[in-house]
Amino acid sequence: MADRIIVGMSGGVDSSVAAARLIEQGHHVTGLFMKNWEEDDTEEYCSATEDLADAREVCKTLGIDLHTVNFSHEYWNNVFQLFLTEYRLGRTPNPDVVCNKEIKFKEFLRWALDLGADYIATGHYARLQRKERNFLLRKGRDGGKDQSYFLHTLDQEALRYANFPIGELQKDRVRAMAQDMGLPVHNKKDSTGICFIGERRFNDFLSRFLPARTGQIKTLDGEVMGEHQGCYYYTIGQRQGLGIGGEGEAWYVAQKDVKRNIVYVVQGHDHPSLMHKVVLAEDMHWITGLPPVLPTLCKAKVRYRQEDQSCVISMLGPNFSRIVFDQPQWAVTPGQSIVFYNDDVCIGGGIIRSAQD
**10, 123 in Cβ contact below 8 A?**
yes
DSSP for 17-50 reads HHHHHHHHTT-EEEEEEEE-----TT-TT--HHH
- Active-site annotation holds for 298: no
| Domain range 274-356, its CATH number among 2.60.120.620, 3.30.70.141, 2.40.30.10, 3.30.360.10 | 2.40.30.10
- Of 277, 337, 261, residue with least CA distance to 301: 337
Q: Under a CB-based contact definition with an 8 Å cutoff, are residues 23 and 2 in contact?
A: no
Of 113, 111, 86, 89, nearest in space to 97 by CA: 86
Q: At what angle do helices 13-24 and 48-62 cross, to 10 degrees?
A: 20
Q: How far apart are CA 251 and CA 150, in angstroms?
A: 29
212-269 and 274-356 agree in CATH topology: no
Name the pTM for this structure. 0.93
pLDDT value at position 210? 86
Active-site hit among 195, 231, 298, 311: 195
* 311 part of the active site: no
Residue ranges of domains in the chain: 4-180, 212-269, 274-356
Identify which of 172, 162, 70 has the alpha carbon closest to the alpha carbon of residue 123: 162
* CA 286-104-28 angle, 5° bins: 115
CATH 2.30.30.280 applies to domain 212-269: yes
Compute the distance between CA of residue 13 and CA of residue 6 in angstroms, rounded to an integer: 17
Q: Catalytic residue, from 46, 99, 311, 346: name it.
A: 99
Query: Is the peptide bond preceding residue 295 cis, with omega within 30 degrees of 0?
Result: yes
Q: How many CB atoms lie within 10 A of CB 76?
A: 15
pLDDT tens digits, one per residue of 238-291:
999 899 977 889 999 999 999 999 999 999 999 999 999 999 999 999 999 999
- Rounded to a whole number of angstroms, the CA Rg of the chain reads 21
What parts of the chain have a pLDDT lower than 70? 1, 39-46, 192-201
Architecture of domain 4-180: 3-Layer(aba) Sandwich (3.40)
308-310-316-317 Cα dihedral, nearest 10 degrees: 40
The whole-number pLDDT of residue 201 equals 67
